[in-house]
Structure 1
């Protein structure tokens, strides 16, 4: 297939050192050399985002020495990569990296002085990962004979709301991105965009949530009307299960937007859960490709599902570190305003609900949340609902989900799942199925999630080729 314009996103492992960056640049360059316009969107170097979060927390707790040590390690790592990619000590790239590390040091020192790390400050600090890797990719492309220009997410035109830590693009983002990148492409320049980040109307840096570089790439793809968006990963594509748990997990050839969103939401770490939303309206396909095997087609994500004969389920995935919050009290949950108060309390804390289940007697509502959110969920509910209600946490849970458009109207799918779980003596704590019939999810004890995943994967015959 021939392409006019591609957006290529490179994840952290494909940016982790000079060798990986050089290889990633070569993947973009081979398309540019055959006349394809390419926009490159980059993640931070592997591990840098976690490092930035760690040093921000250290500064907040008063340990400025530990924060400065981390900054020094990061500075050395980025300088080493720049040097190995051919940057001279007095080059623009080296100067830029030095200045950014100094700005980072000042931002972290401000957190230390105030002993306060606001969501806005955290976004400013954590976005340095992508801001530092973009010049390195730009340098690697230039060393490969291309003209390149790097931009932060805000400079590329990504305008967001002020929801720091999980920002969403504003409607006029797409026009802005098109205006800012089209000129570069027309001039034969390959734009390199720092992923994961945007900015507010007032110029404050925001981030799009963990894994948000995928989201950045699809925003750019929609804005420019790309033929496809390619997400380069260190895996062959989207797999039928986590290959670390299920050794015979297979690559899935084709998924629909809906299926991949369900998979991403329920723990598959291949894509950001919102990554495909900008593409749905325009029908632009997304392709997940392996940087280690660039000629392998990977997984194509498109508007229409492709039902596999005999495979109503495409994949099994799991979310770990989950808690169930039980809200109970004799019959009182039948009162609509009480149910509203439960969800209002959750919404105020901006907690993501993984599953919701209500007993038919209306005396109990169970909510599955990430364990990291459990404490503030409990506090919010206890403060926000009637005193007659009992609010309790059940920790040590995982959510297992089966996903596939072929489940629609297919009889016996849930039966196969529950039989497989029963055969492994896995107790089901909670069940949820959406009316879209794209997934069935169950909460199980965390200790049983690997055995459950293996059993369900086997029950649906997913170890055989899925495409």
Structure 2
């Protein structure tokens, strides 16, 4: 099996941990597996170096300075592997074999990087490359960086271009947990999770795998997160499944929006649960929910709107904090979904501006970490779809 193993800063934070990492790599190599290694800076070295830059520094100088953490890690890990009889070589920007090349804008040159990754791949049965994470090199030979979480990006990118069977992210958490164990009791490891689920969690604070890295995951290649104390690269942890698909989708049937108004409804604990439970008991699915300071809007299938209105009206009448209910039918929804959306500054404006220029009124815009849902009049659906498709 071909594996790209990424070791985070915590997993390389001391000599003992470097030995543990080297043992796990050596065991996998001795079992006949092809291993490439991506190493982060030891401990908090990168942050410490950035904190010490108390002067005006160019981007080039800053990149050179912060690169020293990763440069140290790969040398330490290469030496530890050699002491275990494993043929290893460290790779950093400036070496002829260095794989990750960016253009003048700092974007990865896919063609050149793919070619260089293939050269590494062809030699994996002879040597273990230990590669600096986070760093890249432009065509002029200058060091560039891959941004926050760049070591994760390095690993998954190289896994993709080197046709790895699996990328293993070795870190200081037990894979993906059901909740933050520092906050909630009984948090446990999730055996598997989809890339879309994890991407949404990552953009909402879960520090497991950098969101930018997940864009490179293909459906065929596995990605797994394990704790550095586990000691086995080939088992355990959380497996991340699937891959991002960029989609523009229009719902085939019309929706209705049912709006319940109430005084300071946002300060009424449990009101959303109560209204949703009423619809649930009638087996009415909620497509989307939008809330304001004094209202909650449910989007449901239009042919269920009359039943839903009657049920929710009963609650409005019996609840003194609720004022009224209204229904508007003939609503269409167009969704733009893609793993790259969060990495595109101004993406929502890019979607909305041409729609506004066409004179199309939006009922609602609801966003998540990886999607934008546009609610328009049913009569405007085809034109809206054409506009969105032309932009993306």
Structure 2 CA distance for aligned equivalents of residues 117 and 178 of structure 1: 32
Summarize deviations over 1:251-300 as a string: whole Å, max 9, x none.
222122222222222221111111121223x5312100112124562111
Q: Offset of 1:435 from its aligned partner? A: 7.0
- Give the equivalent residue in structure 1 for 2:390: none
Q: Distance in 1 between matches of 2:141 and 2:93?
A: 11
What secondary structure does 2:107 align onto? coil
CA RMSD, 1 decimal: 2.9
**How does 1:85-164 map onto structure 2 within 5 Å?**
116-153=56-93, 155=95, 156-163=98-105
Give the equivalent residue in structure 2 for 1:38: 35
- Secondary structure of 1:7's aligned partner: strand
1:356-401 Cα offsets, whole Å, 9 max, x none, are xxxxxxxxxxxxxxxxxxxxxxxxxxxxxxxxxxxxxxxxxxxxxx
Tell me what 2:116 maps to: 177
User: Which residue does the alignment assign to 1:70?
Assistant: none
Pair 1:47-2:44 in alignment: yes
C-alpha distance in 1, partners of 2:285/2:79?
53
SS in structure 1 opposite 2:102?
coil
**1:205 matched residue in structure 2:** 143
Secondary structure of the corresponding residue to residue 172 of structure 1:
helix
Aligned to 2:230: 293
Contact 1:262 1:439 survives alignment (8 Å) = no
| Structure 2 counterpart of 1:268, from 206, 216, 234 | 206
Counterpart selection for 1:303 from 233, 236, 242: 242
Q: Give the corresponding residue for 1:372.
A: none
Whole-Å Cα distance in 2 between the matches of residues 127 and 304 of structure 1?
A: 30
Number of equivalences: 259
TM-score (norm 1): 0.51
Distance 2:188 2:46 in 1: 30
Q: Which protein has the bigger helix share?
A: 1
Aligned match of 1:224 in 162, 165, 173? Answer: 162
> 2:118 touches 2:162 (CA, 8 Å); kept in 1?
no
Judging changes above 3 Å, is the alpha-carbon distance between structure 1 residues 27 and 414 closer, same or farther for their aligned structure 2 residues?
A: farther
Which blocks of at least 5 consecutive residues in structure 2 are unaligned?
245-283, 294-363, 374-392
Three-state SS of the structure 1 residue aligned to 2:213 is coil
Tell me if structure 1 keeps the 8 A contact 2:118–2:161: no
Whose strand fraction is larger, Structure 1's or Structure 2's? 2
Partners of 1:292 and 1:6 in 2: CA distance: 19
For residue 137 of structure 1, report the CA deviation from its aligned partner.
Answer: 0.4
Question: Shift of the alpha carbon at 1:144?
Answer: 1.3
1:11 Cα deviation after fit: 0.3
Q: Which runs of 5+ in 1 are unaligned?
A: 61-115, 306-408, 419-430, 441-467
Whether the 8 Å CA contact 2:199–2:369 is kept in 1: the answer is no
Q: 1:135 to 1:180 in 2, by over 3 A?
A: farther
Separation in structure 2 between the aligned mates of residue 257 and residue 18 of structure 1, nearest angstrom: 33
Larger Rg: 2
Distance of 2:42 and 2:34 partners within structure 1 = 25
Look up the match of 1:257.
195
Separation in structure 2 between the aligned mates of residue 172 and residue 151 of structure 1, nearest angstrom: 20
* Structure 1 residue 411, shift from structure 2 partner: 3.4
Partners of 2:138 and 2:94 lie apart in 1 by: 8
- Per the alignment, residue 367 of structure 2 pairs with 434
d(CA) in 2 for partners of 1:142, 1:118: 37
The offset of 1:227, in angstroms, is 0.4
**In the aligned structure 2, how far is the partner of 1:128 from the partner of 1:410?**
54
Report the equivalent of 1:79. Answer: none
Q: Deviations over 1:317-359 (max 9, x none)?
A: xxxxxxxxxxxxxxxxxxxxxxxxxxxxxxxxxxxxxxxxxxx
- How far apart, CA to CA, are the structure 1 residues paired with 2:169 and 2:148? 15
Change (3 A) 1:41 1:205: same
C-alpha separation in 2, matches of 1:277 and 1:136: 30
